Amino acid sequence: MSASEYVPEDADLETLRIAAGKCHGCDLYREATQTVFGAGPAAARVVMVGEQPGDREDVVGSPFVGPAGRLLNRALAEAGIERDAVYLTNAVKHFKFVERGKRRIHQQPGRSEITACRPWLAAELAEIDPELVVCLGAVAAQSVIAPSFRVSRERGQVVALETCRAVATVHPSAVLRAPDRDAAYAEFLADLRTARAVMS
Ligand code: URA
Ligand code: SF4
Protein backbone atom coordinates (compact mmCIF):
# COMPACT_ATOMS: atom_id res chain seq x y z
CA MET A 1 0.00 0.00 0.00
CA SER A 2 1.17 3.51 -0.74
CA ALA A 3 0.00 7.08 -1.14
CA SER A 4 1.51 7.25 -4.62
CA GLU A 5 -1.73 6.56 -6.49
CA TYR A 6 -3.39 9.44 -4.62
CA VAL A 7 -0.71 12.07 -5.33
CA PRO A 8 -1.56 14.30 -8.33
CA GLU A 9 1.34 15.07 -10.66
CA ASP A 10 2.80 18.57 -10.99
CA ALA A 11 0.33 19.89 -8.46
CA ASP A 12 0.69 23.01 -6.33
CA LEU A 13 0.58 22.71 -2.54
CA GLU A 14 -3.10 23.53 -2.24
CA THR A 15 -4.01 20.85 -4.78
CA LEU A 16 -1.78 18.36 -2.96
CA ARG A 17 -3.37 19.27 0.37
CA ILE A 18 -6.88 18.68 -0.94
CA ALA A 19 -5.87 15.37 -2.55
CA ALA A 20 -4.17 14.21 0.67
CA GLY A 21 -7.47 14.70 2.45
CA LYS A 22 -8.76 11.68 0.53
CA CYS A 23 -5.69 9.44 0.89
CA HIS A 24 -6.22 5.78 1.76
CA GLY A 25 -2.59 4.86 1.11
CA CYS A 26 -2.32 3.00 4.41
CA ASP A 27 -4.72 2.07 7.21
CA LEU A 28 -4.09 5.11 9.41
CA TYR A 29 -6.89 7.15 7.81
CA ARG A 30 -9.44 4.76 9.31
CA GLU A 31 -9.17 5.80 12.97
CA ALA A 32 -7.79 9.33 12.63
CA THR A 33 -10.03 12.39 12.37
CA GLN A 34 -8.44 13.88 9.27
CA THR A 35 -5.30 14.20 7.18
CA VAL A 36 -2.94 16.79 8.63
CA PHE A 37 -1.05 18.17 5.66
CA GLY A 38 1.91 20.53 5.85
CA ALA A 39 1.44 24.26 6.34
CA GLY A 40 3.47 27.32 5.48
CA PRO A 41 4.61 29.40 2.53
CA ALA A 42 5.28 27.71 -0.82
CA ALA A 43 8.37 29.92 -1.10
CA ALA A 44 9.80 28.69 2.22
CA ARG A 45 13.59 28.16 2.20
CA VAL A 46 13.32 25.82 5.17
CA VAL A 47 11.06 22.82 5.59
CA MET A 48 10.76 21.23 9.02
CA VAL A 49 9.53 17.66 9.18
CA GLY A 50 8.04 16.05 12.28
CA GLU A 51 6.84 12.52 12.82
CA GLN A 52 3.06 12.54 12.61
CA PRO A 53 0.23 14.73 13.90
CA GLY A 54 -0.51 14.39 17.62
CA ASP A 55 -3.86 14.34 19.37
CA ARG A 56 -4.35 18.09 19.09
CA GLU A 57 -3.21 18.30 15.46
CA ASP A 58 -5.57 15.48 14.54
CA VAL A 59 -8.52 17.51 15.87
CA VAL A 60 -7.44 20.91 14.55
CA GLY A 61 -6.06 19.74 11.20
CA SER A 62 -2.79 21.70 11.30
CA PRO A 63 0.73 20.55 12.20
CA PHE A 64 2.45 21.49 15.47
CA VAL A 65 -0.42 23.24 17.20
CA GLY A 66 -0.15 21.22 20.47
CA PRO A 67 2.47 21.05 23.26
CA ALA A 68 5.33 19.98 20.96
CA GLY A 69 4.49 22.87 18.66
CA ARG A 70 4.64 25.36 21.51
CA LEU A 71 8.10 24.14 22.47
CA LEU A 72 9.15 24.31 18.83
CA ASN A 73 7.86 27.89 18.53
CA ARG A 74 9.88 28.96 21.54
CA ALA A 75 13.05 27.29 20.25
CA LEU A 76 12.62 28.75 16.75
CA ALA A 77 12.28 32.23 18.23
CA GLU A 78 15.40 31.73 20.35
CA ALA A 79 17.35 30.36 17.39
CA GLY A 80 16.36 33.36 15.25
CA ILE A 81 14.31 31.36 12.75
CA GLU A 82 11.09 33.05 11.73
CA ARG A 83 8.26 30.57 12.31
CA ASP A 84 6.01 32.04 9.63
CA ALA A 85 8.74 31.64 7.00
CA VAL A 86 9.05 27.90 7.68
CA TYR A 87 6.97 25.19 6.01
CA LEU A 88 6.05 22.67 8.71
CA THR A 89 4.98 19.14 7.89
CA ASN A 90 5.21 15.54 9.04
CA ALA A 91 6.63 12.29 7.67
CA VAL A 92 3.25 10.64 8.24
CA LYS A 93 0.06 12.64 7.75
CA HIS A 94 -2.41 10.75 9.93
CA PHE A 95 -2.36 10.35 13.73
CA LYS A 96 -1.57 6.81 14.89
CA PHE A 97 -2.78 6.03 18.40
CA VAL A 98 -4.30 3.52 20.78
CA GLU A 99 -7.24 4.35 23.02
CA ARG A 100 -6.77 4.08 26.79
CA GLY A 101 -10.04 5.02 28.37
CA LYS A 102 -10.76 8.54 27.21
CA ARG A 103 -7.17 9.24 26.18
CA ARG A 104 -5.60 8.62 22.81
CA ILE A 105 -2.00 7.54 23.22
CA HIS A 106 0.48 8.26 20.43
CA GLN A 107 2.03 5.25 18.71
CA GLN A 108 5.14 5.51 16.61
CA PRO A 109 4.42 4.88 12.92
CA GLY A 110 6.03 1.76 11.49
CA ARG A 111 8.33 1.42 8.52
CA SER A 112 5.44 0.46 6.22
CA GLU A 113 3.43 3.57 7.16
CA ILE A 114 6.43 5.85 6.79
CA THR A 115 7.11 4.38 3.35
CA ALA A 116 3.44 4.50 2.35
CA CYS A 117 3.17 8.19 3.24
CA ARG A 118 6.50 9.25 1.77
CA PRO A 119 5.06 10.28 -1.65
CA TRP A 120 3.25 13.19 0.04
CA LEU A 121 6.42 14.45 1.67
CA ALA A 122 8.33 13.94 -1.58
CA ALA A 123 5.71 15.99 -3.44
CA GLU A 124 5.84 18.78 -0.85
CA LEU A 125 9.63 18.92 -1.05
CA ALA A 126 9.60 18.85 -4.86
CA GLU A 127 7.11 21.71 -4.98
CA ILE A 128 8.83 23.89 -2.35
CA ASP A 129 12.43 23.05 -3.34
CA PRO A 130 13.89 24.30 -0.04
CA GLU A 131 17.54 25.03 0.78
CA LEU A 132 17.34 23.10 4.00
CA VAL A 133 15.23 20.37 5.54
CA VAL A 134 15.25 20.10 9.33
CA CYS A 135 14.27 16.62 10.51
CA LEU A 136 12.63 16.60 13.92
CA GLY A 137 13.26 13.10 15.26
CA ALA A 138 14.18 9.69 13.96
CA VAL A 139 11.09 9.04 11.87
CA ALA A 140 11.60 12.24 9.87
CA ALA A 141 15.33 11.60 9.49
CA GLN A 142 14.74 8.06 8.30
CA SER A 143 12.16 9.24 5.78
CA VAL A 144 14.12 12.25 4.49
CA ILE A 145 17.78 11.25 4.87
CA ALA A 146 18.13 7.47 5.07
CA PRO A 147 16.54 4.51 6.87
CA SER A 148 19.89 3.85 8.53
CA PHE A 149 20.20 7.39 9.94
CA ARG A 150 20.71 7.49 13.72
CA VAL A 151 19.68 10.77 15.35
CA SER A 152 21.55 9.98 18.57
CA ARG A 153 24.85 9.76 16.69
CA GLU A 154 24.32 12.11 13.77
CA ARG A 155 22.18 14.94 15.10
CA GLY A 156 23.35 18.46 14.33
CA GLN A 157 25.41 17.38 11.32
CA VAL A 158 24.74 18.99 7.96
CA VAL A 159 23.98 16.31 5.38
CA ALA A 160 23.94 16.82 1.60
CA LEU A 161 20.86 15.50 -0.16
CA GLU A 162 20.26 15.51 -3.93
CA THR A 163 18.76 18.99 -4.16
CA CYS A 164 19.31 20.53 -0.74
CA ARG A 165 20.85 20.05 2.66
CA ALA A 166 19.42 18.51 5.79
CA VAL A 167 20.02 18.65 9.53
CA ALA A 168 18.42 16.27 12.00
CA THR A 169 17.67 16.83 15.64
CA VAL A 170 15.43 15.22 18.21
CA HIS A 171 11.67 15.59 18.23
CA PRO A 172 10.36 18.43 20.43
CA SER A 173 8.21 15.82 22.23
CA ALA A 174 11.41 14.07 23.26
CA VAL A 175 12.58 17.32 24.85
CA LEU A 176 9.29 17.53 26.77
CA ARG A 177 9.73 13.95 28.02
CA ALA A 178 13.45 14.17 28.82
CA PRO A 179 14.47 13.59 32.46
CA ASP A 180 16.69 16.67 32.24
CA ARG A 181 14.48 18.91 30.19
CA ASP A 182 16.74 21.97 30.36
CA ALA A 183 19.74 20.06 29.02
CA ALA A 184 17.63 18.45 26.28
CA TYR A 185 16.25 21.84 25.33
CA ALA A 186 19.73 23.37 25.16
CA GLU A 187 20.89 20.62 22.79
CA PHE A 188 17.77 21.02 20.66
CA LEU A 189 18.37 24.76 20.47
CA ALA A 190 22.01 24.20 19.48
CA ASP A 191 20.88 22.02 16.56
CA LEU A 192 18.40 24.67 15.43
CA ARG A 193 21.17 27.27 15.60
CA THR A 194 23.23 25.03 13.32
CA ALA A 195 20.27 25.00 10.93
CA ARG A 196 20.02 28.78 11.18
CA ALA A 197 23.71 29.10 10.28
CA VAL A 198 23.29 26.89 7.21
CA MET A 199 20.55 29.17 5.94
CA SER A 200 22.81 32.19 6.46
N1 URA B 1 4.46 16.07 16.61
C2 URA B 1 4.76 15.98 15.30
O3 URA B 1 5.68 15.30 14.91
N4 URA B 1 4.05 16.66 14.46
C5 URA B 1 3.05 17.44 14.81
O6 URA B 1 2.44 18.02 13.94
C7 URA B 1 2.76 17.53 16.18
C8 URA B 1 3.48 16.84 17.06
FE1 SF4 C 1 -2.29 8.29 3.24
FE2 SF4 C 1 -0.22 8.95 4.78
FE3 SF4 C 1 -2.66 8.98 5.79
FE4 SF4 C 1 -1.48 6.66 5.26
S5 SF4 C 1 -0.82 8.19 6.78
S6 SF4 C 1 -3.60 7.22 4.72
S7 SF4 C 1 -0.34 7.17 3.40
S8 SF4 C 1 -1.91 10.31 4.16
Output the pLDDT for position 199. 87
Burial 23-38 (b: 16+ CB within 10 A, else e): bebbebbeebbbbbbb
pTM above 0.85, yes or no: yes
Mean pLDDT of 167-192: 98
Q: Nearest to residue 95, comparing CAs of 26, 29, 20, 22? A: 29
For residue 68, report the distance from its CA to the centre of ligand 1, in Å: 7
Q: Nearest to residue 119, comparing CAs of 42, 9, 15? A: 9
Mean pLDDT of 117-129: 98
For residue 59, report the distance from its CA to the centre of ligand 2, in Å: 16
Distant-in-sequence, close-in-space partners of 60: CB < 8 Å, separation ≥ 6:
none
What number does the ligand 1 atom closest to the CA of 63 have? Answer: 6
**What is the per-residue DSSP string for 151-166?**
HHHHTT-EEE-SSSEE
pLDDT digits (tens, 9 = 90+) for 63-94: 999 999 999 999 999 999 999 999 999 999 99
Cβ-contact 20, 6 below 8 angstroms: yes
For residue 3, report the distance from its CA to the centre of ligand 2, in Å: 6
What number does the ligand 2 atom closest to the CA of 1 have? Answer: 7
Domains of the chain: 4-199 (3.40.470.10)
